[in-house]
Amino acid sequence: MEKSKRFSGKKYVTIGITENIPIEIQNRIYCMIHNVCESLNEVDYLQVFELTSKSTDEGTFQVISHSQDVPEYSSVIKLKITKPITEKKYM
C-alpha cells in the first residue's frame, strides 16, 4: 500500500509559530510528522502537538505530545531545554 503524501513537499510556517516556538522544537515537530508518515499507511489531515514542560531532578524538559484521531496514533518525546513552552498547535 502506498504511503500518504499528505505532509510531503514544501513546509510553510506562520509568523506565530516562527515567533513563539524555537527552531529546535519546530524541527522536532517536523521529524515527528515524518515518522508518523513513514510508520502508518494512512495519516490524518489534522496533527495535534501539545507542548508542556516537566521538571525533574535531572533538569527541565520540553515534552512534545503528538497525536491524531484517524487512525489513532500518539507519541511523546522529551527534550532537555532551558526555556520550555506550553502551547497546543494543530497542523
Q: Output the pLDDT for position 6.
A: 72
What percent helix, strand, coil does the chain show, rounded to 5?
25, 35, 40
Q: What span, in angstroms and rounded, lies between the C-alpha atoms of 4 and 59?
A: 38
Asked whether the beta carbons of 75 and 56 are under 8 A apart, the reply is no
In the chain, domain spans: 15-90
Q: What is the mean pLDDT of the chain?
A: 91
Q: What is the DSSP letter of 83?
A: S
Q: Would you state the cell numbers that stand for residue 76, as one nine-digit string?
A: 511523546
Query: pLDDT tens, 17-51?
Result: 899 999 999 999 999 999 999 999 889 999 999 99
Would you state the pLDDT for residue 7? Answer: 78
